[in-house]
């Protein structure tokens, strides 16, 4: 078994699409970034890479590389997961927390879990997505940004 942890944060910008775990959340602002800036998926990829000591997404998908401009992070996730399976591991489970003041994400959580379980070809029960605010404290609290954490367990097949 291998355990991994990932963290990511992005600035929120007006007019940007708000794509979280592959689901477009209706919102006047979204995470800014080079790719689609899907913050929880970035944290999840870093957790997977971390579990196998394979570096981080900045090494695998540098934002200086134009081919990753507005990249679909779910596609990048599948690429990272291919590295995992190539090494003889499969996902045991993943637990993601999205930290955002608004909008409320509860009604999108199931769709997010389905998107991730489809991308990783794993049971829905292996994917947990949670959302929290930081009670108006700090950069997520004042709406400057969004953050996410992810923990994964990889198991040998
Ligand atoms: Mg990121």
CATH code, 49: 3.30.1330.50
DSSP symbol at 108 = G
Q: Residue 77: give the domain boundaries.
A: 2-156
**Average pLDDT in the 127-143 region?**
98
CA distance 18 to 68: 17
CB-based contact 38:19 (threshold 8 Å):
yes
Cα(33) to centroid(ligand 1), Å:
7
Domain count, the chain: 1
pLDDT band of 68, cuts 50, 70, 90: confident
Torsion of CA 133, 139, 144, 146, to 10 degrees: -50
Q: Rounded to two decimals, what is the model's pTM?
A: 0.97
Cα(9) to centroid(ligand 1), Å:
6
- For 103-119, b/e burial (b = at least 16 CB within 10 A) is eebeebbebbbbbbbeb
Read off the pLDDT of residues 76-99 as tens digits, 9 standing for 90 and up.
999 999 999 999 999 999 999 999
- Which residues sit with Cβ closer than 5 angstroms to ligand 1, an ion? 8, 42
- Cα 151 off chain centre by: 11
Cα(81) to centroid(ligand 1), Å:
17
């Amino acid at each position: 078994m291998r355990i991994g942890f990932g963290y990511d944060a992005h600035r929120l910008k007006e007019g940007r699409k708000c794509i979280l775990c592959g689901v477009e959340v209706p919102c006047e602002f979204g995470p800014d970034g080079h790719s689609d800036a899907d913050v929880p998926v970035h944290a999840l990829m870093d957790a997977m890479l971390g579990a196998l000591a394979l570096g981080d997404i900045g090494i695998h998908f540098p934002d200086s590389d134009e081919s990753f401009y507005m990249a679909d992070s779910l596609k990048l996730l599948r690429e990272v997961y291919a590295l995992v399976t190539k090494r003889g591991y499969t996902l045991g489970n993943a637990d993601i927390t999205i930290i955002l003041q608004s909008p409320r994400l509860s009604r999108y959580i199931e769709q997010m879990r389905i998107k991730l379980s489809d991308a990783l070809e794993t049971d829905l029960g292996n994917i947990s997505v949670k959302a929290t605010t930081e009670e108006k404290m700090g950069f997520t609290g004042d709406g400057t940004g969004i953050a996410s954490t992810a923990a994964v367990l990889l198991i040998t097949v």
